[in-house]
Amino acid sequence: MWDNIKDFASEFFVTGDPLIYGADVAIVLTVVAIVSALTYFKKWKWLWREWLTTVDHKRIGIMYVIASLLMLFRGGVDALLMRTQLAMPELDFLEPEHYNAIFTTHGVIMILFMAMPLMFGLFNLVVPLQIGARDVAYPFLNSVSFWLFFMGAMLFNMSFVIGGSPDAGWLSYPPLSETMFSPGPGQDFYIWGIQISGIGSLMTGINFIVTILKMRAPGMRLMKMPMFTWSTLSSCLTIILAFPILTVTLALLFIDRYLGAHFFTLDGGGNPMMYINLIWMWGHPEVYIVVLPAFGIFSEIVATFSKKRLFGYKSMVFALMSISFFSFFTWAHHFFTMGSGANVNAFFAVTTMLIAIPTGVKVFNWLFTMYRGRLSFPTPMMWTIAFIPCFVVGGMTGVLLSVAPADFQFHNSYFLIAHFHQVLIGGVAFGFFAGLYYWWPKVFGFTLHEGIGKWAFWFWNIGFYVCFMPQYVLGLMGMTRRMNTYGWDRGWWELNLTSTIGGFLMGIGFLFQVWQILHSIKFFKKAPADPWNGRTLEWTIPSPAPLYNFATLPRVSERDPFWEEKQRREKGILPPPPPPLEPIHMPRNSGVPFVMSAFWFVAGFGFVEHWTWMAIAGLVGVAASMMVHSFNYNTDYYIPVDEIKRTEAAAAKGAV
């Protein structure tokens, strides 16, 4: 009996690596600490009532942000482990399998479990406030989306202590990812982690499209929407067209692995190259999904801190939409070297270059928003200014990569690695950081310490260039991606060492950000309603925003409604008095999304371990949760006028 348990445990858990034992201990200690703290402070009910069951878009947004920052930590540690292994030639810091697992999880986590949820967090925190809505269109679905993401992310992350991490690259190309070459459960963790959170992503896409199209404040026509809302719309449209491709592709891969089908296998008429096409039909739009909202954030910030209207609004909208559209016609540029023939390669090279046009136009518009403005440089603006040169250079190397025959020399080399980190860090990460800094006071009700933030900024920026500029050269020196080690004779070690130093500088930058947040919590400084002299609706309401956002729904007649109103006030023109308060219709909290997602987790784990009984039990639980919810008629309530008055009065007092 005891031997059986030991056998089972040695297969079930990942064993033999001191780093992983260390992680095991850390996980157990953290869980014990959290559980005992919640028990000691009697916070279990609070946790359940205020957070786990919430359908409030602001709280869901906060949970997205916290989860994604944790994932940023995990993905960042992965990155630093890799950079440590590569710092010098022929190091034995990580075994090849371990290295392969780490670059796989780094990629998956940074794109799918860091960038995506941070983006969804910002959608949730900002979009309803910007369009003058009281919540998203489907608050319950919003909660389901979050918990599916969360459970998917947990399932994926679990793989490194249970069963073993996936190690076939972040896109898991077959045949390597098929049972023939990857028999362990790692690939199944990959598939189910992404599938479960992917359903959530798709639903978020639907939710925000409907929210933006149906719930704008009276008078806010489409062409009067703030640019971040436009970028959210274009990103969500891309999501609902791209994510189904991912779901189907991974489902086919799973059918191969679970039932022995031959969609992508080497033998039996399978076609691995079809997978590569399909995954990039999702994968290329995916990078635009995450970068478009960053463009929106920069547009908001540039206008605010230039104290000037956004230049070329119509061009900006058109550029966003055309990028969404063209993103679906460039997928094959990820594998020009597959040898599809000159005509195919030429087509995809040109479509890729076309995207540079609207992107370039956006840069010019940002510059001309600043032109003849009055620029100030608090942290959100600093990230924005740093973004422009970084993204311009990253975009240029992207155009170089799109030149198909030249790509034969860049492909799979560190040149490519440097390029996509430059656009993903310089574009997406800088953008989301800028957004977080910008909207932080509105979301949390306190301001962040600017000085520490500036330290973080400089560490990140200097670290970025020290880390990635050498990688362009390494690529031209012939160093290919995903190598776990290299020889002394190659002459690569100086640049690799430099790159590693840069990586650690960014790590220090991250620590500064953590310190900045903790410091600002400790030395709590209440945020005013309008800390940046803002232009859009979210700055008209108290910080943090009350549960119902707007006591009375605003009326909009121009693009920067709050800015224009402030201008009129200065001239002595007062706005009409707000209409009388009315009871506000709000959605009721529900535990179903959490429970249902937990059942998805159970089902996913059953599929991963090939324990059919568990998978079925999980799916039955999912179905039962849906039934329970569909018979629940008690889903909404009204906030009485008295309570609104009390809340508004308290907020007004706090703001003074």
Partner 1 sequence: MAAKLRRIAAVLSLVAMAALTAGCSDKIVVLNPKGEVGKQQLDLIVISTLLCLIVIVPVLIMTFVIVWRYRQKSNSKAKYRPEWEHNSKLEMIWWGIPIVIVAILGIVTVRYTHILEPSKPLASDKEPIVIQVTSLDWKWLFQYPDQKIATVNYVQFPANVPVRFELTSDAPMNSFWIPQLGGQIYTMSGMAMKLHLIADEPGEYMGMGANFSGKDFAKMQFTAKATTTEEFDAWVKDVKRATPKLTDEGYEQLAKPGVVMGTMEFSDIPDGLFDRIVTKYGTSHEGHSRPSESSEGSEHPEHPEHSGHSGHEGMDMDGVESAVEPTQVSAHQH
- Region 354-393 residues binding partner 1, contact defined as CB under 8 A: 354, 356-357, 360-361, 363-365, 367-368, 370-377, 385, 388-389, 392-393
Q: How far is the CB of 409 from partner 1 (least distance, A)?
A: 5
Instruction: Write out the DSSP string of 127-152.
Output: HHHHTT-SS-S-HHHHHHHHHHHHHH
Q: Which of the residues 264 through 283 are near partner 1 (CB under 8 A)?
A: 266-269, 271-273
Kindly write out the interface string for residues 21-40 of this chain, putting x where it contacts partner 1 by CB under 8 A and - elsewhere: --------------------
Q: Which of the residues 160 through 179 are near partner 1 (CB under 8 A)?
A: 168-169, 173, 175-176
Q: Which of the residues 84 through 123 are near partner 1 (CB under 8 A)?
A: 96-97, 100
What is the identity of the amino acid at 483? Answer: M
Kindly write out the interface string for residues 471-510 of this chain, putting x where it contacts partner 1 by CB under 8 A and - elsewhere: --x-xxxx-xxxxxxx---xxx-xx---------------
Q: Which residues contact 25 (CB under 8 A, 6 or more apart)?
A: none
Counting residues that bind partner 1 (by CB under 8 A) gives 97
Q: How far is the CB of 180 from partner 1 (least distance, A)?
A: 9
> Is residue 15 left, alpha or beta, with left meaning phi > 0 and alpha meaning psi from -120 to 50?
beta
Residue 247 or 271: which CB sits closer to partner 1? 271
Q: How far is the CB of 371 from partner 1 (least distance, A)?
A: 5
Q: Which residues contact 437 (CB under 8 A, 6 or more apart)?
A: 378, 379, 380, 383, 448, 453
Q: Which of the residues 591 through 610 are near partner 1 (CB under 8 A)?
A: none
Give CA–CA dist 421/490, Å, rounded: 24
Q: How far is the CB of 115 from partner 1 (least distance, A)?
A: 22
Residue 617 φ/ψ, nearest 5 degrees = -55, -45
What is the token pair recorded at 560? 């920067």
Q: How far is the CB of 406 from partner 1 (least distance, A)?
A: 5
Contact between residue 113 and residue 168 where contact means Cβ atoms under 8 Å apart: no
Q: Is 325 in the site for partner 1 (CB under 8 A)?
A: no
Contact between residue 520 and residue 446 where contact means Cβ atoms under 8 Å apart: yes
What is the token pair recorded at 71? 């994932």
Q: Which residues contact 193 (CB under 8 A, 6 or more apart)?
A: 108, 152, 153, 155, 156, 157, 159, 604
Which of 158, 17, 35 lies closest to 92 in space, CA to CA? 17
What is the token pair recorded at 38? 């919640």
Residue 56 or 560: which CB sits closer to partner 1? 560
- Type and span of the H or E element at 586: strand 584-587
Residue 94 or 242: which CB sits closer to partner 1? 94
Give CA–CA dist 113/67, Å, rounded: 8
Q: Does residue 636 sit in helix, strand or coil?
A: strand
Q: Is 638 in the site for partner 1 (CB under 8 A)?
A: no
Q: How far is the CB of 487 from partner 1 (least distance, A)?
A: 8
Q: Which of the residues 287 through 316 are near partner 1 (CB under 8 A)?
A: 306-315
Q: Which range of residues in 37-45, 111-119, 205-213, 353-361 is near partner 1 by CB under 8 A?
A: 353-361
Q: Which range of residues in 156-164, 233-241, 342-350, 457-465 is near partner 1 by CB under 8 A?
A: 342-350
Kindly write out the interface string for residues 406-425 of this chain, putting x where it contacts partner 1 by CB under 8 A and - elsewhere: xxxxxxxx------------
Q: How far is the CB of 252 from partner 1 (least distance, A)?
A: 15
Contact between residue 406 and residue 25 where contact means Cβ atoms under 8 Å apart: no
